[in-house]
Amino acid sequence: LKHGGGGGGGRPRADSSGLPPQTPEQQKRQMLQCLLLEAGILFHSVFIGMALSVATGPAFVVFLIAISFHQSFEGLALGSRIAAIQFPRASPRPWLMVLAYGVTTPFGQAIGLFMHRIYDPASMAGLITVGVMNAISAGLLLYSGLVQLLAEDFLSEKSFKILKGRKRLHAYLCVVAGATLMAAVGAFA
């Protein structure tokens, strides 16, 4: 992707797809979609870190392996969305977005270690807190994934120009494979 140099003055820039350059409105929409996705992932990652830091025994090893794969897949998905945005050349935004993703799980682990003595995950308050936070995370992630990302990737005018025939089928199969891998990882977490 061309990340455009300075002096663009808000003009649309071409990307490597060969399609017409994006308008400022399209760029803004793409940025907002990515920010909403990242917000859901960051919120979710804090609680993953907390859960990881209070896990003990043999379940910890299985949980750690599952979380490692889960976070890797999430990082790839988020990174591809961040890379698709046409940031100004010297913009710190993509770096800050990547940094935010990288520190949230360890931040959650720090919170979990701090609260380890006072937090009982099996208590009524603990179960309600985790349930509410997981519901909020799930809502943000489902909305971002289904309404914004998949709809745009498969139902937009741009997608019908790019994804034709076998290429579209391959894209669908990749989505199914990704969902299957994440479900398999979730089965062990």
70-92 exposure pattern, b = at least 16 Cβ within 10 A, e = fewer: bbeebeebbeebbeebbbeeeee
Number of H helices, E strands in the chain: 7, 0
44 residue type, one letter:
H
pLDDT of residue 9: 47
CA distance 7 to 3: 12
Specify if 105 maps to a domain.
Answer: yes
Contact 46, 107 (CB under 8 A): yes
Tens of pLDDT, residues 44-93: 888 888 888 877 788 788 888 888 888 898 899 899 889 988 888 899 99
Confirm whether 127 is domain-assigned. Answer: yes
In a domain, 179, yes or no: no
Q: In whole angstroms, what is the distance from residue 24 CA to residue 181 CA?
A: 36
Residue 13: what pLDDT?
45
Residue 171 in any domain: the answer is no
Q: How many domains are there within the chain?
A: 1
Q: What six digits make up the tokens of 52? A: 């990881």
Q: How would residue 104 be classed by pLDDT, with cut points 50, 70 and 90?
A: very high
Radius of gyration of the CA atoms of the chain, in A: 19
Q: Is residue 99 part of a domain?
A: yes
**In whole angstroms, how far apart are CA 21 and each of 14, 25, 161, 163?**
4, 11, 14, 18
Rounded distance, CA 86 to CA 39, Å? 19
Q: Which two tokens stand for residue 130?
A: 């985790």
Mean pLDDT of 35-50: 88
Percent of all residues in the chain with a pLDDT value above 90, rounded to a whole number? 21
The answer to whether residue 121 sits within a structural domain is yes
Sign of the CA dihedral 78, 84, 89, 91?
Answer: negative
Q: Is residue 144 part of a domain?
A: yes
Per-residue pLDDT reduced to its tens digit, 150-186 = 888 888 888 888 888 899 999 999 999 988 987 887 7
* Contact of 121 with 134, CB cutoff 8 Å: no
Q: What is the pTM of this model?
A: 0.70
In a domain, 119, yes or no: yes
User: How far is Cα 121 from Cα 101, in angstroms, rounded to an integer?
Assistant: 25
Which domain covers residue 78, as residue numbers? 24-149
Residue 106 banded pLDDT, cuts 50, 70, 90: very high
Average pLDDT of the residues of the chain? 82
Q: Tell me the pLDDT tens digit for each residue of 111-159.
A: 888 887 777 777 888 788 878 888 888 888 888 888 877 888 888 888 8
